[in-house]
Amino acid sequence: MPITLNQLEVMVRQAGDVAMRYFNDLESLAVSKKSARDLVTDADVAVEQYLKQALGEQCPEYGFWGEESGQTANQISRWIVDPIDGTHSFSRGQYFWGISVALEIDGQIVMGAVYGPALDDYYSAELGKGAWKNGKPIRVSAEAELGSSMISTGFACLRSYLEHNNLERFCRIAQATTGQRRFGSAALDLCLVADGQVDAFWEQELNLYDVAAGALIALEAGGTVTDFKGNSGIFPKQILATNAKILDQLLPLM
C-alpha cells in the first residue's frame, strides 16, 4: 500500500481543520443549491480542493473522484471523496456530518476513513486488517433480535422526488424494531453500524462517494453490506449494512 492509514489520517484531520474554520463561522458561509433539495457550500469545495491537492502530492499515481469536482483521468486506481457528507446538517450548525475518503484499486475498496470533526470521531479501515474508531478496534453489535434492534436510514430518494421513496419501508421496519434514527450522514451512519451504535442502516439513491469508506469500515468491523435482496457488495443505489445477526430477519421487510 503506497500510503498508511496513519498518513491518511494526518491529511483527513487537516481537512477537518479546513471544514471547522467554516463551521465556526456559519454566518459567513456561502450556501448554494445543486438542485431543489441538494446543497453545496464553500466548505464542501474548500475541503475537497485540500484533499485533492494533498492526496495528489502523496500518491500522484492515483486518480481522484470528488463529489464537487468530478473525476480525473485515472479511474482504475482512485481516491473517492465526499468532502462533507451531511452538508444540510453542516449548514445548520448540527454536529452529525463527516469527511469520507476511500481508496479504490481495480474496483476494490482497500482503505477508508470517515471523520466527524464536530464529533471528534475518526473511523478508519484497511481491507483485511480491521476497523478502528479513534485508534481503537471496533466491532458491530451483538443484537440478534430485530424486535430489540435500533436501525437508521436516510431519504435521498425524497430529494429526487422518487415514487419509491423509502417511506413505506421505513414505517414497516419501524413497527418491527425498538429504535429508529435518521442522523443525516450516510457515511457516518455506516460507521455507527461498525461501532455497534446501531444494528442496521439502509438507504437508496446514494452515490459511491457517500458510502465507499463507510461500507469498508462496516465490513471490516464484522458487518454485512448488501443490496436490499441480500446480494453482497457495495450498491450505492440500494445499500444495506447490518451487524450480520439481524440480516435474515430484516431482508423480508426490505
3-class DSSP assignment, residue 49: helix
Report how far residue 98's alpha carbon sits from residue 115's, in angstroms, rounded to the nearest whole number.
5
- Nearer to Ca ion among residue 85 and residue 205 (C-beta): 85
> Is residue 85 at the binding interface for Ca ion, with CB under 5 A as the rule?
yes
> Is residue 126 at the binding interface for Ca ion, with CB under 5 A as the rule?
no
The H-or-E segment that residue 45 falls in is helix 42-58
Q: Which does 123 bind (CB under 5 to 8 A by kind): ligand IPD, Ca ion, none?
A: none
Q: Judge contact between 81 and 49, C-beta under 8 A.
A: no
The H-or-E segment that residue 187 falls in is helix 186-194
> Is residue 203 at the binding interface for Ca ion, with CB under 5 A as the rule?
no
Q: Which does 65 bind (CB under 5 to 8 A by kind): Ca ion, ligand IPD, none?
A: none
Report how far residue 161's alpha carbon sits from residue 149's, in angstroms, rounded to the nearest whole number.
29
Return the DSSP state at 43. H
- Nearer to ligand IPD among residue 50 and residue 245 (C-beta): 50
The minimum distance between CB 236 and ligand IPD, in angstroms, equals: 10
- The DSSP bridge pattern shows strands 77-85 and 63-66 to be parallel
Q: Which does 185 bind (CB under 5 to 8 A by kind): Ca ion, ligand IPD, none?
A: ligand IPD
- Nearer to ligand IPD among residue 17 and residue 38 (C-beta): 38
The minimum distance between CB 55 and Ca ion, in angstroms, equals: 17
Report how far residue 112's alpha carbon sits from residue 105's, in angstroms, rounded to the nearest whole number.
12
Residues that bind ligand IPD (CB under 6 A): 82, 85-88, 154-156, 159, 184-186, 203, 206, 210
The minimum distance between CB 210 and Ca ion, in angstroms, equals: 4
